[in-house]
Amino acid sequence: MEKYLELRRRYPRFFYRGYEIEEQERELKVTYRFEIEGLSVFAPTWRFPKEEGDGGCRKKDPLLQDMVFSLGMVELVSYWKLACPPKVVVEAQALSPEQIAWWKDLYYNGLGEFFYVNHITQAGPEDFMEIEPAEVRKGTGCGALLHGLAETERGYEAAPDGGHQKGVIVPVGGGKDSAVTLELMRQAGETLYAYIINPRGATIRTAQVAGLDEAHVINVKRTLDANMLELNRQGYLNGHTPFSALVAFSSLIAARLYGLPYVALSNESSANESTVRGSAVNHQYSKKL
């Protein structure tokens, strides 16, 4: 608790500076720019494969850019938690008051286990963080990405080159939830694509058992910034972050790139239960998005 208060005093501001999209023939690379003022800068990356034969210029797609920005809003909390600066300055894009409230709710509840493990008891839902956007946007919450608004309501166009218009992306983490989803969708006759972040044995095997060939497995690479890992080794604050939110927002980017209309997941009922008796701490809070 004392470390939390001291770090917030020493490092009062966190910046989401922006992001860069580099497009090559076979992949889309996203580099984020974060900074804890006075401590370190961070440049984590994501690499999304493009479908074979995709010749479109995806980085100019306005909806894709909004999706990339939103993924950055989730990614930033992994770096913010090092010192928990009381102010987060978002320079990358405008935010509405409703969006700010939504993101604060995700951060606060998604970091419940982090606060608990680090014995942080003075972090309240309102005062643990102030989000200051470079520009205040008028309108509703997170728009088409979160609240089911039609693309035309936000001025978005269909995916470049039309896309598949049919098929379901299933995020695969190697556990029973994704295996159940794949089997249910297979039995329903859906065209399936497994979505895997940083493939490993269990995730690769799950896709294989589902009968998916290489063309129907979307392998994405997420790389953490080395400065963050070094600060973790030095003893700065560390702990659980809302990883399921990363899966959700990044899978939307993959769906957009492949022109697929649906992302399907299964959650066990325990995702709505506290993991610490007598508290609201929930290890899986972001599964409820």
Contact call for residues 37 and 13 (beta carbons, < 8 A): yes
| Alpha carbons 79 and 92: distance in angstroms, whole number | 16
Q: How confident is the model at residue 31 (pLDDT cuts 50, 70, 90)?
A: very high
pLDDT at position 11 is 98
- Mean pLDDT, the chain, whole residue set: 86
| Alpha carbons 125 and 133: distance in angstroms, whole number | 18
DSSP reduced 3-state for 29 = strand
DSSP reduced 3-state for 190 = coil
pTM for this prediction: 0.87
As a whole number of Å, the end-to-end CA separation of the chain is 29
3-state per-residue secondary structure call for 90-152: ECCCCECHHHHHHHHHHHHHHCHHHHHHCCCCCCCCCCCCEEEECCECCCCCCCHHHHCCCHH
pLDDT at position 14 is 98
Query: What are the tens digits of pLDDT across the range 175-215?
Result: 888 899 999 999 999 999 999 999 999 999 999 999 999 99
Least confident stretch, 26-35, 82-91, 239-248: 239-248
- Is residue 87's pLDDT more than 60? yes
Query: What are the tens digits of pLDDT across the range 264-279?
Result: 988 766 655 565 555 5
| Alpha carbons 258 and 177: distance in angstroms, whole number | 23
| Alpha carbons 88 and 126: distance in angstroms, whole number | 13
Give the count of domains, the chain: 1
Q: Which domain holds residue 42?
A: 2-288
| Alpha carbons 184 and 204: distance in angstroms, whole number | 19
Contact call for residues 189 and 289 (beta carbons, < 8 A): no
Contact call for residues 212 and 47 (beta carbons, < 8 A): no
pLDDT at position 20 is 96
Residue 31: C-alpha distances to residues 46, 61, 139, 206, 247 (Å) = 7, 17, 28, 29, 17
Share of the chain above pLDDT 90, in %: 63
- Exposed (0-12), middle (13-18) or buried (19+): which is 79, by Cβ within 10 Å? buried
| Alpha carbons 80 and 128: distance in angstroms, whole number | 12
45-49 vs 27-36, strand pairing mode: antiparallel
Least confident stretch, 26-40, 128-142, 268-282: 268-282
Least confident stretch, 27-41, 102-116, 129-143, 146-160: 146-160
Q: How confident is the model at residue 53 (pLDDT cuts 50, 70, 90)?
A: confident
pLDDT at position 278 is 55
Q: For residue 102, which amino acid is it?
A: W
Q: How confident is the model at residue 217 (pLDDT cuts 50, 70, 90)?
A: very high
Q: How confident is the model at residue 52 (pLDDT cuts 50, 70, 90)?
A: confident
- Is residue 34's pLDDT more than 70? yes
